[in-house]
Every structure is written in C-alpha cells, then in structure tokens.
Amino acid sequence: MDTIGFSKHDHTVCIEDCVATIEAHCAEAGLQFTPTRRRVLEILLDQHKALGAYDILEVLRSEGLGSQPPVAYRALDFLVANGFAHKIEHLNAFIACCRPGQTHTAAFLICRMCKAVAEAPSTPARIALEGSAEAVGFSIEATVVEATGLCPNCA
Amino acid sequence: MDTIGFSKHDHTVCIEDCVATIEAHCAEAGLQFTPTRRRVLEILLDQHKALGAYDILEVLRSEGLGSQPPVAYRALDFLVANGFAHKIEHLNAFIACCRPGQTHTAAFLICRMCKAVAEAPSTPARIALEGSAEAVGFSIEATVVEATGLCPNCA
DNA sequence: ATTTGAAATGTAATATTATAACAAGCCCCA
DNA sequence: TGGGGCTTGTTATAATATTACATTTCAAAT
C-alpha cells in the first residue's frame, strides 16, 4: 500500500487504516469522533482528490446525515482544526490528510486536469521561508504550499 | 524607499514607480493598460494589504468606472495574468506585485491581525518542492506559498 | 440519579466570492 | 472600410461560506 502520491494502492485498506488511526487519536485526545465527522472523513478518503464542501454536503444529504451547509462546514472545520484534513485554498476544496496525527506543514501537488491532489513533505519549503520571514521580523504560524501542474497520469 | 515587507517607505513614490514601470512594460509587450486596469492597480498599490474584488469594485463604483463584478474581476484577471498582481488564495484577495515585470514564483507573509501582506522570495521554496514533485513524476507549473502569522507591528 | 454546562446539531436566512452569457463599442490594420 | 480581436457594459446566476438562534446530547460533578 502506498498512501502518498499518484500511484495505485489498496484503497479499502487505506481508508480503514486512516479512520482507525484517527478514531484512536480522538479517543486519546478526548475529541468527539461523531458519526457525521466520521462520515465526512470517509467521504474525503474515498477520493484522492479535493472535494468541495457542497460535494460532501450532497453525499450527506443523500444519506440523511444533514442537509444544510453548516453541517458540512462544521465537520470539515473539525477535521481541519485537528489535522485530519486540509483545505486546498487554490480549489476551495478539502482533502483528507494522509498522515493523521502528525503535526506537519502541508504542501500539495494539484493536477489541473484531474484535480488529483498529492501531499508532499513541505518542511523544506517552510524552512526556506523562515529565513525571509525572520529577516523582516515576521513570525510564521502556518504555511500553505500549493503547486499546480500535471500529474504523471495526465501528462 | 523600501518596497518589501512591513517597514515604512515613501508610498507615493512607490506607487508612481510601480505604475510607471508597468505602463512601460505594457507598452513594450503590446498590452492595453486601460484606465480601469490602471486604476485597479493604483487601488491595490495604495494599500499594503490584500483587497477583495468587491472592495475594489466599491472604489470603482464610487468613481464611476464600473459597477458590476465582472469589471473588477476582469481588471484583476489582467493584472494577475501578467504578473502585476497576485491572488492571495488564503484570503480570496488580491495584492499588487512589488516586483512587476520579473517572472517569479511568489511567496507571501500574511499577518492574521492586520491583513498586511509582504511578498517574499519563494524560489527556494519552489526548489524544495521540485524534488518531491520529480520523485512522483509531477511537473510543477505554478506554486503558491502563503505563510500566516504575526507581522512585527502586531506581534 | 440529577443537575448543569460545554459541545454538537438542526435549520433558516443571508453574506461573500465568482462566473456565464451576450450585446455593444473601440481600434488596429489590411 | 470593414473585419477581427480585444475590451467593456449589463443582467443574471452560480458557488462558496457564515451568522444566528433554537434544540439536543452527553459526560462530568454533585
């Protein structure tokens, strides 16, 4: 199984693993992993591309889990706030985090053709920025790195 | 005069210089630097923070230069497409480019308190990403780097 | 067991950001 | 002088996101 990038992997296992990991993490941290939150995570994991809040809402609606925008946004806020998902600013869309539980600055490779998104290590990018930031007295709290281009499948 | 960062500088000169530079650049490249486009650039330059399309539209409207959203978005599209402005994805807002005419991957330091935005050199960050991208066969076309935190004035 | 307070949910309404579509004007230039 | 491409004007609507407030849930403290 390969959780990173555009290559194929056993997706069922991928989803199960992630959900289990996050469930355990929530239990330990005293976070409520409610049915809606779990379902939104599953929906996100089900695709290796970024989904809009309204895409997710549509699924929730069809399953009777909620019908109004705040339902989706609240679950997404929870997932993002706890590092279980990321928002792709460039697409106004969301994606499950491949490495839940680890705090890390995320970087993304976004295919402009198929909208697939891969998460890449971004620590180097952040380190590169820290220099410039320090020089002007700016203290970085969060960094978003998003590269658009063509994935190997679409190239 | 200091065009970069959160420090003070002679703003009138800053604006004049940028506009003149871009005007010349347009003339040379056969781009139409129309009144609306010029005015939007000036509005952006007037602030060292990111402005929403509707903030800009409001100014245009008050000056009789246009009243409908496409007026602002078209001018912004032109400026962004030609590297005279950047979109800050994190804020859904726009900012004039401090170094017009040079093609460069932009990185931004965004103050979460005062919304001031500084442009930082991001080439190192992009180079850092190129490695991961190459490893998975992804070809990068554009990179967005946005760091949020506190600027020296708000810290 | 009961209280209670924080967190989560349900729902309506609305705010904000962005684009589609099409008609009309302008300007270079062949 | 009349094409053709770019730019503008305008209406309408799409897509994304939040506010506000009533209600429910649930676990922890009494």
Q: Which residue does chain B place closest to A143, by CA atoms?
A: B147
Tell me phi and psi for residue A101, to 5 degrees: 95, -30
DSSP state of B6: S
Contacts of B134 (CB under 8 A, 6+ apart): none
Total count of residues recorded for chain A: 155
Digitized pLDDT (tens) for each residue of chain A, 155 residues in all: 334 566 666 778 878 888 999 999 999 889 999 999 999 999 999 887 899 999 999 999 999 998 999 999 999 999 999 999 999 999 999 999 867 665 567 789 998 888 888 888 767 677 778 888 888 899 988 888 999 888 898 87
Would you place residue B5 in the very low, low, confident or very high pLDDT band (cuts 50, 70, 90)?
A: low
User: Hey, are the CB atoms on A139 and B155 less than 8 Å from each other?
Assistant: yes
Chain A interface includes B107 (CB < 8 A)? yes
Cβ neighbours of residue A129 closer than 8 Å, sequence gap 6 or more: A140, A143, B107, B109, B120, B122, B124, B125, B145, B147
pLDDT exceeds cutoff 80 at B4? no
Band of residue B76 on the pLDDT scale cut at 50, 70, 90: very high
Q: Report the distance from CA of residue A60 to the C1' of nucleotide D13 in Å, as an integer.
A: 25
A130 vs B54, residue with greater confidence: B54
Q: Is the CB of B34 under 7 A from strand C?
A: no
What global pTM score does this model have?
Answer: 0.89
Q: Answer yes or no: is pLDDT of B26 > 70.
A: yes
Per-residue confidence (pLDDT) for residue B53, from 0 to 100 = 97
Determine the distance between A35 (CA) and C7 (C1') in angstroms: 15
pLDDT in tens, B95-124: 998 676 655 677 899 988 888 888 887 676
Task: Tell me which of B82 and A124 has the higher pLDDT.
Answer: B82
Phi-psi region of A66 (alpha: psi -120 to 50; beta: other; left: phi over 0): left
Judge whether residue B3 has pLDDT over 80.
no
Q: Which bin fits B57, alpha (ψ -120 to 50), beta or left (φ > 0)?
A: alpha
Is the distance from CB of A136 to CB of B98 less than 8 angstroms? no
Rounded to whole angstroms, the Cα distance separating A29 from A133 reads 33
Residue A78 beta carbon within 7 A of nucleic strand C: yes
In angstroms, the CA of A31 and the C1' of D25 are apart by: 15
Task: Tell me what pLDDT residue B62 has.
Answer: 95
Q: Which residue is nearest to nucleotide D10 (CA to C1')?
A: B68
The structure tokens 């347009």 sit at B26
One DSSP character per residue, B83-112 reads TSEEEEGGGTEEEE-SSTTS---EEEEEET
In three-state form (DSSP H/G/I as H, E/B as E, the rest C), the secondary structure along A69-81 is HHHHHHHHHHHHH
- The residue of A129, A148, A150 whose CB has the most chain B CBs within 10 angstroms, and thus the best one to mutate to test that interface, is A129
- Antiparallel, parallel or unpaired: β B85-88 and B117-121: unpaired
Spell out a b/e string for B8-46, using b for 16 or more CB atoms within 10 Å of the CB, else e. eeeeeebbeebbeebeebbeeeebebeebbbbbbebbbe
Q: What percent of chain B clears pLDDT 70, i.e. is strictly above it? A: 88
Strand, helix or coil for residue A121: strand
Q: Which residues of A touch B8 (CB under 8 A)?
A: none
What CA–CA distance (Å, rounded) separates A65 from A57? 9
What per-residue confidence (pLDDT) applies to B2?
39
Q: How confident is the model at residue B38 (pLDDT cuts 50, 70, 90)?
A: very high
